[in-house]
Amino acid sequence: MMPSKKKLIKELENYFDRLWDLPRSITGKGFRDSLEIIRELMPHKVIKFKTGQKVFDWTIPDEWNPKEAYFIGPDGIKYADFSINNLHLLNYSESFEGTVSLEELKKHLYTLPNMPEAIPYVTSYYERRWGFCIKHSEYEKLPKGNYFVKIDTDLGKGSLNLAEAVLKGETDKEILFSSYLCHPSMANNELSGPLVLASLYKLIASIPKRRYTYRFIIVPETIGAISYLSVMGKHLKAKSIAGYQITCVGDSGAYTYKYSRQHDSLSDRVANNILKNIKDVKYRKFNPAIGSDERQFCSPGFDLPIGSLMRTMYTEFNEYHTSLDNKDFISFKSMAETTFLYFEFFQLIEKNFFWKNTVMYGEPQLGKRRLFDTIGAKKTTSELDNAMWWILNYADGANDLIKISDISEIDWKVLNEMAEILHDKGVLSYE
Amino acid sequence: MMPSKKKLIKELENYFDRLWDLPRSITGKGFRDSLEIIRELMPHKVIKFKTGQKVFDWTIPDEWNPKEAYFIGPDGIKYADFSINNLHLLNYSESFEGTVSLEELKKHLYTLPNMPEAIPYVTSYYERRWGFCIKHSEYEKLPKGNYFVKIDTDLGKGSLNLAEAVLKGETDKEILFSSYLCHPSMANNELSGPLVLASLYKLIASIPKRRYTYRFIIVPETIGAISYLSVMGKHLKAKSIAGYQITCVGDSGAYTYKYSRQHDSLSDRVANNILKNIKDVKYRKFNPAIGSDERQFCSPGFDLPIGSLMRTMYTEFNEYHTSLDNKDFISFKSMAETTFLYFEFFQLIEKNFFWKNTVMYGEPQLGKRRLFDTIGAKKTTSELDNAMWWILNYADGANDLIKISDISEIDWKVLNEMAEILHDKGVLSYE
Amino acid sequence: MMPSKKKLIKELENYFDRLWDLPRSITGKGFRDSLEIIRELMPHKVIKFKTGQKVFDWTIPDEWNPKEAYFIGPDGIKYADFSINNLHLLNYSESFEGTVSLEELKKHLYTLPNMPEAIPYVTSYYERRWGFCIKHSEYEKLPKGNYFVKIDTDLGKGSLNLAEAVLKGETDKEILFSSYLCHPSMANNELSGPLVLASLYKLIASIPKRRYTYRFIIVPETIGAISYLSVMGKHLKAKSIAGYQITCVGDSGAYTYKYSRQHDSLSDRVANNILKNIKDVKYRKFNPAIGSDERQFCSPGFDLPIGSLMRTMYTEFNEYHTSLDNKDFISFKSMAETTFLYFEFFQLIEKNFFWKNTVMYGEPQLGKRRLFDTIGAKKTTSELDNAMWWILNYADGANDLIKISDISEIDWKVLNEMAEILHDKGVLSYE
């Protein structure tokens, strides 16, 4: 049964709180533990790639597991304690222990001078470094003298993991939903993404019969998407008819839709059709320079039909990639609404038939089928009657429901209601 | 010889007055008598379909011939007398005679509460009922008590009739003009339609030589068009290159053009080209939910190139389908102007050649053909010279006159004048 | 080595002054002498067409060589002396000597009543006449009485000449630059044209290696272009991928771009891409009624991709085809800037590769190639990084550099810089 919005809001917050503190990265225990929690919402298979394995142009890196990290100043104060905020440790930092001068230490500190109260999120996946991220306000007050630095992390052979869940449908044509889970404690970018994806999974799974197959993946960003494509890209290229990258869906800002590279894919047409009824939507053309894993799915060799419905997009909010992208910044109500909007995308895809009128020559006699008032008089046409005429004329087997809705400017749900009535009466068929 | 506008205005009014009172419906003597009057303007063949005959999804109904209808109140007053206004009788009403209470009577009365002084036009072709249409102001004053009702109509086997006139041209490519004649006493919708169509017939017939074949039909709306298509649809699909549904051409409102379903058919291109020089034209995309027989011609199996040039369109004037759509509402001067505008459509279709320049490489030497001033100097180019250069360059056999006019923004008549000069000089040819 | 702008300005003025006074027409010594001066800038081959020779629909006319022309009034004053301003003599005037009344003389005088201080430029190439062009202010003051007229011109068999220079490239695909040289003492239209063309030749010739072949022609307008096409049209049709008619490039007005007939030819795409960064450019669609030799190159049989970048276009400045189109009207600084802008067109054409990413599936690992910062953090993307992502995604072999620049709204020079870096790193290739 489909959960109510109220119930969904609660559930989202509950899972958010449980996931918040886990020390995630592109590999390691934090990522795996997070997947295990999400498994409660979305049962899935875990796919593993071993350190050193080639995935297209990339190589799976060592697995990283942080244990402890801080530094102690000449004032005896403990700074940048990883156990308090996991953003303090440079993601993928190597181990280090020793005493260094303030000058030397500063070479390993990352701050945001323009946002002095924010801890930045910084990574160094593909080059070995050690370092800390702290507030710039704190950085400026560090006293002169020697600092004892302690970073204890494991970096060694292991694996990269990703989750895959598939809901089978009547056909093997597929819709892909993708999100990522490699960021430590940040809210809009990223915990909102996998939470909406997993909730959407639950909604779609509650539908007893589906026309299409739905594939859900949660990966470490970039390298995870590339790894998945290295084994499933060919399949996706053959089967995917639509899909969306789910990210930045947590705040209560206006919706943003980023088009797929094809710009008029089924994903884009569904989004255009549904979003035109919503105020203040921002549209962004496909942009390979800024984005998430849609950049991989839309790389030229694949060019998959993957768009992205977001709230406030990465790079369009100041808190992006800092400690200020936290629970205060997001809204579980908005997150639930976004989930239901994605669910409407699903509904339209399912109902987007190429209907065909069985009476192609002249209009059908509707009176005899009790489909139309037998009294002919001056009156306004009801929305449903209006929908009937548009469908009868345009259901020629070449126009899908979205096209008819776009041409007629009639809501797809009204058209679909009438199409199903006409189908029951034997006036419409489909292949 | 082509009649003057003045003469046409008189003729339109004369025929309007003669046709006004005839009790028309989709079948019956009223329709046939009306056709006989129109025959004076447009000689035609009558095509018959017998009651019970299948035409696509429809069946030809019984023929309906009303004789008498009224009811008498407890106040002794005779109401809704059909002999005074034929809208008073529900179109296709069955016979009834008897005494009924006011309460019972009211179940058979049709009024327009929002237009209390208008008698509505109501039909019940495909379900047997009896009824009257009256002004709502009258309805509200009907005294309590018993009413004697008398409706005498014949409903039985007979035929549905339609008129067809064909003006042959040099080729068998055809242009279709269609109108309908099943409405009783109403003016803009509908008497204006068949009157403009028949007048246009006369204008085109006065031209001694035509390039294309012109087909004119006057039918009972919907069922008549479907009946005609059932025998001639295949032919029309093969031969029609353009056509127009002529309706609502009687008032003096701004022109309205409704596109064919194809949206860029020759009909539409002709209309776009000519109407862009007229102020305040309203454009309406093809809409299968609202309209006349273009909805049948443009049903998906046929998808004929049929547009519709109107004045104020059905549903866009309040008087539509009521007794207020009468002689006061229309203008014979406007009706004559509309006729001449349709005649310009005809002229452009006839002159719309794919001209081909005989000098395709470099421009022709025009001085030696006395086609251009042999003095070269700073001067403004005349409209006709301007037309010449555009034709010479674009007459490559792939652009028709309309296209050249659209690109150059030169009036088609100026281009055509120059094209004919160049043709006489041997510079242009056509296939 | 490429000349500086300063040097170019000087050179343009120097050659302008030397060419100004020569009595040019479509044939004759004035044209040939002018070509010989231009040869210093642009070595070329001269192609000759003999009087009487057929070129498509045209015939090469007699050669015209004016020697002396004036008339003396009853007041003893010498008027319209050709030796003072060669516009005074009707171009292609036949000889005449004799005494005529003022009334008779006036039949042979051409003036501009609306521009009383301007001597008009008038020609009579294809019909024999004699005549003079004078200021209308002078015309009005001519005293009554008899005038002695003296016109001594040679009109007889000879030849029409044109110049052709070709800079070979690695491929035989060609770009055409064309200008004309048949006008006597006028500046914007026309001396600016051949001077910019010859200067552009020098710039392009200074580049050691060219991808494409560049063809430069200087012809007498209309008949010269037709003559050239009569021998080289087939070749141009097969080989030309772009080209420009260079005319009206001398004043300091805003740029004007006239599209080729194809409207989206490579010429037009190059112009659109580069000119969008310049303010106040005027765009004119191809117009066969007004123009220069692009009208011949774009005649329907050839339809070559020839556009035209101008400053203030013929017919859009009042001084056009009069003695007021002189050195005061133009600016050698602007002329030099126009030359360099045409040179940028050349540069973009040369660099407009269909790049192809060698990593088509997922994005390339850029960190390992030192192409991207190995620290991942919140930061603004640099213009060059931005260019990199757009190229990597769109370099699929189907998009040329112009297309990628148009889609990404990134300057082609930035994209090209990055494309060459990626090419050096082995990430991009081209065929």
- Cβ pair C248, C274 in contact under 8 A: no
Instruction: Determine, for residues B110 and A394 on separate chains, whether the beta-carbon distance falls below 8 Å.
Output: no
Q: At what angle do helices C332-351 and C266-275 cross, to 10 degrees?
A: 120
- Each residue's pLDDT tens digit, B158-183: 999 999 999 999 999 999 999 999 99
Strands C159-167, C45-50: pairing kind = antiparallel
CA angle B235, B241, B247 (to 5 degrees): 90
Report which residue type is found at C166.
V
Instruction: Determine, for residues C120 and B363 on separate chains, whether the beta-carbon distance falls below 8 Å.
Output: no
E-strand ranges in A157-295 read 159-167, 174-180, 213-219, 240-245, 256-258, 282-284
**Which of these, A208, A199, A210, lies nearest to A177 by C-alpha position?**
A199
Size of interface B-C (CB pairs under 8 A): 90
- The confidence score (pLDDT) of residue C2 equals 74
Within 8 A of A295 by CB-CB distance, chain C residues are: 363, 389, 393
ipTM: 0.93
Residue A288 to residues A267, A292, B27, B369: CA-CA distances in angstroms? 17, 9, 66, 60
Closest in A359, A378, A389 to B289, CB measured: A389
Tokens of C181: 């040289």
- Each residue's pLDDT tens digit, C107-152: 999 999 999 999 999 999 988 999 999 999 999 999 999 999 999 9
Strands B240-245, B282-284: pairing kind = unpaired
Strands C54-55, C109-110: pairing kind = unpaired
Within 8 A of B378 by CB-CB distance, chain C residues are: 112, 120-121, 320-322
Within 8 A of C415 by CB-CB distance, chain A residues are: none
DSSP 8-state symbol, C279: T
Residue to mutate among C359, C369, C378, with most A CBs inside 10 A, is: C378
- Cβ pair B134, B116 in contact under 8 A: no
- For residue A392, the distance in angstroms to the closest alpha carbon of chain C comes to 39
Closest in C359, C365, C377 to A120, CB measured: C377
- The confidence score (pLDDT) of residue C1 equals 64
- Cβ pair C257, C308 in contact under 8 A: yes
Instruction: Determine, for residues C389 and A289 on separate chains, whether the beta-carbon distance falls below 8 Å.
Output: yes
Closest in C362, C367, C381 to A56, CB measured: C362
Within 8 A of B395 by CB-CB distance, chain C residues are: 300
Q: Which helix (H) or strand (E) holds A297?
A: helix A294-297
Partner chains of B (3+ C-beta pairs under 8 Å): A, C
- The confidence score (pLDDT) of residue B411 equals 97
Strands B54-55, B45-50: pairing kind = unpaired
| Gyration radius (Cα) of chain A, Å | 26
- Each residue's pLDDT tens digit, B110-149: 999 999 999 999 999 988 999 999 999 999 999 999 999 9
Tokens of B362: 């470099």
Instruction: Determine, for residues A233 and C360 on separate chains, whether the beta-carbon distance falls below 8 Å.
Output: no
Closest in C126, C288, C320 to B368, CB measured: C126
**Which of these, A50, A19, A56, lies nearest to A179 by C-alpha position?**
A19
Residue C340 to residues A115, A129, C255, C335, C336: CA-CA distances in angstroms? 45, 49, 13, 9, 6
Instruction: Determine, for residues C367 and A127 on separate chains, whether the beta-carbon distance falls below 8 Å.
Output: yes
Under-50 pLDDT residues of chain C = none
For every one of its 431 residues, what pLDDT tens digit does chain A have, with 9 covering 90 and above? 677 999 999 999 999 999 999 999 999 999 999 999 999 999 999 999 999 999 999 999 999 999 999 999 999 999 999 999 999 999 999 999 999 999 999 999 999 999 999 999 999 998 899 999 999 999 999 999 999 999 999 999 999 999 999 999 999 999 999 999 999 999 999 999 999 999 999 999 999 999 999 999 999 999 999 999 999 999 999 999 999 999 999 999 999 999 999 999 999 999 999 999 999 999 999 999 999 999 999 999 999 999 999 999 998 999 999 999 999 999 999 999 999 999 999 999 999 999 999 999 999 998 888 777 767 766 667 889 999 999 999 999 999 999 999 999 999 999 999 999 999 999 999 87
- For residue C347, the distance in angstroms to the closest alpha carbon of chain B comes to 30
pTM of the model: 0.94
Within 8 A of B363 by CB-CB distance, chain C residues are: 57, 222, 226, 295-296, 299
